[in-house]
């Protein structure tokens, strides 16, 4: 555990020294605040709490922004160290390959969690302060969104590590990362909808919902836009998913599985890699 | 006692053979030179010793244990390693690098500054590595290899980028470590530099060990002539010339005679020189250089 934390700590320090942790946080803050302050303007006054509107806006932002952030942090995390020759030295120390991957992942997810928490809290506090709409239930929904956002970022970090464990070449790894982002964020849902329309009657809404769980961004949508009645009433999208009732803890569990499996595969692949 | 043992180790990278049935024992407290062409298998051998790759056939032991077994990872605490191209993150300082690696090895960070002093980097310990020269980075690499008083040092081209004075200091550090029982394996192309600093030489070619002997043994047992130059007090007389009729020699000048012989004949020639009454002022022996020996073994592919 000590070795894992040493590696993680190094990644965090590295993030601060390179200042990209600050850049990352600023990006999240700017996007979140923009959505919170400007996003509700076209909709005018609604009955919903402004914190709930913020949850809906931030969830939509998260689905696009965090996967790409996670992938960009990790797609060359192992490959570039092997290429530069840093990894051979690191691996010569009394530390297993698994500890190296977990340590780096831990450092990166802490960085991501830091940026998400600061950014989303800024948006949440601003929105609650301006409308004075804070209550226990809404706060819980907001905290749940922050946690699931961190896990979503972590999922794409893991996928990035998996890419990095297979591919040394930086540009190829970058290309694959973008393709994966496009697939999960855009192509998967469009393809699924197209398939349902084309084969009407074959796929029912239950099958559709189950297929959505095979996409981590859709699991996130389930969790934040459909699981809480307060939010689902106003989110408008994904009304279809209310036809199945999945417990929120099960959704968190599916999210965690989505984060752990690619990381586990990355460790396996990295263990057998000749450095 | 053997600290490094290879037993019939073969290593393939896909279908390419990198090491071919290597058997080798390295004793405690020796400095061993590992020499060979690029791609001969030197780095593969070092990677196997570090447990970074595994043998395709055969097995190896480091300090009596199988390093490929993850449960034996703590053996690595006893190994110091300096890779051929050592790089560190540019945004870290020298002392931060040592502290980081020191935490991984669980060694006392209090000694890290002393290590930097030892390699001459104490004054720049807090500077970012991006301000370091290649030689300074190499010295920092050496300092990290010395963390935690290792029992085995694996050094891949360790004097790359070091100036002549630093090279001498580097070999002083190595002899000091050898005296303390540290076993050192140096992979190097700088043959003349390591010539008189090592106990044994392992020549490796196309994945096979060609020889694993001391330099003096190799010199004694190869048929490469050496030269003995006697500088004498008086001019060479006709009677001396007559007495030397059976020897292969030439007069370099009126007061210098050069003998060409095989290493095993060296002592006899010296005895003869005194016996026939040469008044020797000075004696110069031109032994076979390590480069010549290396070429000899690689060309002949002799296995000794």
Mean pLDDT over residues A221-235, rounded? Answer: 72
Taking the CB of residue A13, how many other CB atoms lie within 10 A of it?
17
Mind telling me how many Å the CA of B73 is from chain A's nearest CA?
5
All residues at 6 or more sequence positions from B290 whose CB lies less than 8 Å from its CB, including other chains: B191, B192, B194, B195, B201, B215
Please say if the pLDDT value at position B35 is more than 70.
yes
Grouping H, G, I as helix, E, B as strand and the rest as coil, residue A232 is helix
Nearest CA in chain B to A84: B87
**Direct distance between the N- and C-terminal alpha carbons of chain A, in angstroms, rounded to an integer:** 23
Upper half-sphere CA count for residue B196 (Cβ side, 13 Å)? 5
Mean pLDDT over residues A192-205, rounded? Answer: 78
Distance of alpha carbon A262 from alpha carbon A258, whole angstroms: 7
Q: What is the pLDDT of residues B168-211, one digit of tens each?
A: 888 888 888 999 999 999 998 888 888 888 899 999 999 999 98
Overall domain count for chain A: 1
What residues of chain B, 72 to 111, have a C-beta less than 8 Å from chain A?
73-77, 79, 81, 83-89, 91-92, 100-101, 103-106
DSSP code string of B199-254: SEEEEEETTEEEEEE-HHHHHHTS---EEEEEEESSPPPHHHHHHTTTS-EEEEET
Q: Which uninterrupted H or E stretch holds B45? A: helix B42-49
Mind telling me how many Å the CA of A274 is from chain B's nearest CA?
6
What residues of chain B, 113 to 172, have a C-beta less than 8 Å from chain A?
141, 144
Which CATH class name applies to B225-287?
alpha beta
All residues at 6 or more sequence positions from A19 whose CB lies less than 8 Å from its CB, including other chains: none
Name the burial class of residue B299, with classes exposed (0-12), middle (13-18) and buried (19+) by CB atoms within 10 angstroms of its CB.
exposed
Please say if the pLDDT value at position A43 is more than 60.
no
**Direct distance between the N- and C-terminal alpha carbons of chain B, in angstroms, rounded to an integer:** 22
Residue intervals of chain B classified under CATH 3.30.70.1560 are 225-287
- Which of A47-56, A83-92, B56-65, B153-162 has the lowest average pLDDT? A47-56
Per CATH, the homologous superfamily of domain B2-219 is: P-loop containing nucleotide triphosphate hydrolases (3.40.50.300)
Distance of alpha carbon A125 from alpha carbon A117, whole angstroms: 11
Which of A6, A86, A92 is the closest to B87 by Cβ?
A86
Q: Which domain holds residue A260?
A: 2-271
What is the per-residue pLDDT for B194? 85
Cβ separation of B52 and A88 shorter than 8 Å? yes
> Which DSSP state fits B288?
P
Distance of alpha carbon A217 from alpha carbon A66, whole angstroms: 10
How long is chain B? 304
Contact A63, A153 (CB under 8 A): no
All residues at 6 or more sequence positions from B107 whose CB lies less than 8 Å from its CB, including other chains: B147, B148
Residues in chain B within 8 Å Cβ distance of A2: 103, 106
Please say if the pLDDT value at position A138 is more than 90.
no
pLDDT tier at B304, thresholds 50, 70, 90: very low
Q: Where are the beta strands (DSSP E) in chain B?
A: 2-13, 16-27, 31-35, 57-62, 79-82, 152-156, 183-187, 200-205, 208-213, 226-232, 249-253, 256-261, 280-286
All residues at 6 or more sequence positions from B209 whose CB lies less than 8 Å from its CB, including other chains: B22, B23, B24, B202, B203, B303
DSSP code string of A17-33: HTTHHHHHHHHHHHHHH
All residues at 6 or more sequence positions from B211 whose CB lies less than 8 Å from its CB, including other chains: B201, B202, B203, B218, B297, B302, B303, B304
Q: What is the pLDDT of residues A73-113, one digit of tens each?
A: 999 999 888 888 889 999 999 999 999 999 999 999 999 99
Q: What is the pLDDT of residues B220-264, one digit of tens each?
A: 888 888 899 999 888 888 888 888 888 888 888 888 999 988 888
φ and ψ of A144, to 5 deg: -60, -40
What percent of chain A has pLDDT above 90?
Answer: 46
Q: What is the pLDDT of residues A166-184, one digit of tens each?
A: 988 889 999 999 999 999 9
What residues of chain B, 19 to 48, have a C-beta less than 8 Å from chain A?
47
pTM: 0.86
Cβ separation of B81 and A92 shorter than 8 Å? yes
Q: What is the pLDDT of residues A11-30, one digit of tens each?
A: 999 888 888 788 888 888 88
Mind telling me how many Å the CA of A226 is from chain B's nearest CA?
45
What percent of chain A has pLDDT above 70?
Answer: 87
Distance of alpha carbon B290 from alpha carbon B200, whole angstroms: 12
């Amino acid at each position: 555990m000590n070795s894992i934390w040493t590696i993680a700590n190094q990644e965090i320090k590295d993030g601060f020294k390179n200042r990209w942790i600050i850049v990352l946080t600023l990006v999240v803050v700017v996007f979140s605040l923009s959505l919170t302050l400007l996003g509700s303007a076209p909709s005018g006054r609604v009955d919903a709490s402004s914190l709930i509107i913020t949850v809906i806006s931030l969830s939509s932002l998260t689905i696009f922004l965090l996967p790409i952030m996670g992938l960009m942090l990790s797609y060359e995390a192992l490959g570039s160290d092997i290429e530069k020759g840093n990894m051979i030295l690191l691996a010569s120390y009394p530390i297993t390959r698994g500890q190296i991957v977990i340590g780096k992942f831990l450092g990166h997810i802490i960085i991501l969690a830091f940026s998400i928490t600061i950014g989303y809290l800024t948006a949440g506090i601003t929105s609650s302060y301006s409308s004075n709409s804070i209550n226990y239930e809404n706060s819980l929904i907001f905290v749940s969104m922050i946690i699931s956002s961190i896990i979503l970022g972590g999922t794409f970090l893991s996928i990035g590590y998996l890419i990095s464990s297979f591919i040394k070449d930086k540009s190829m790894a970058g290309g694959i990362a973008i393709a994966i982002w496009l697939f999960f964020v855009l192509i998967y849902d469009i393809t699924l909808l197209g398939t349902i329309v084309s084969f009407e009657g074959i796929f029912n809404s239950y099958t559709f919902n189950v297929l959505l769980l095979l996409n981590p961004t859709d699991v996130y949508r389930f969790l934040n836009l459909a699981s809480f009645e307060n939010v689902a009433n106003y989110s408008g999208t994904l009304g279809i998913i209310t036809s199945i009732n999945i417990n929120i803890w099960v959704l968190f569990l599916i999210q965690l599985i989505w984060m752990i499996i690619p990381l586990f595969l990355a460790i396996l692949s990295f263990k057998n890699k000749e450095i | 006692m053997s600290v490094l043992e290879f037993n019939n180790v073969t290593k393939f990278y896909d279908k390419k053979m990198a090491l071919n049935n290597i058997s080798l024992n390295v004793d405690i407290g020796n400095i061993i030179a590992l020499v060979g062409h690029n791609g001969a298998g030197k780095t593969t051998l070092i990677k196997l010793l570090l447990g970074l790759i595994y043998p395709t056939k055969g097995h190896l032991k480091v300090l009596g244990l199988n390093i490929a077994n993850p449960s034996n990872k703590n053996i690595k605490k006893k190994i110091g390693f300096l890779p051929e191209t050592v790089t560190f993150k540019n945004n870290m300082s020298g002392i931060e690098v040592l502290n980081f690696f020191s935490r991984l090895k669980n060694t006392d960070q209090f000694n890290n500054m002393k290590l930097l002093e030892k390699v001459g980097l104490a004054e720049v310990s807090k500077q970012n590595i991006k301000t370091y020269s290649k030689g300074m980075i190499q010295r920092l690499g050496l300092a990290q290899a010395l963390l935690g008083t290792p029992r085995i040092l694996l050094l891949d081209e360790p004097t790359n980028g070091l100036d002549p004075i630093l090279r001498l200091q580097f070999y002083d550090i190595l002899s000091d470590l050898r005296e303390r029982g540290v076993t050192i394996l140096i992979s190097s192309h700088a043959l003349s530099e390591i010539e008189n600093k090592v106990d044994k030489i392992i020549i490796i070619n196309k994945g096979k060990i060609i020889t694993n002997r001391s330099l003096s043994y190799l010199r004694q047992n190869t048929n490469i002539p050496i030269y003995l130059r006697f500088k004498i007090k008086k001019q060479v007389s006709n009677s001396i010339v007559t007495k030397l009729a059976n020897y292969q020699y030439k007069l370099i000048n009126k007061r210098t005679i050069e003998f060409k012989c095989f290493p095993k004949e060296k002592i006899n020639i010296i005895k003869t020189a005194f016996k026939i009454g040469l008044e020797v002022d000075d004696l110069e022996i031109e032994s076979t250089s390590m480069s010549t020996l290396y070429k000899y073994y690689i060309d002949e592919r002799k296995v000794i």
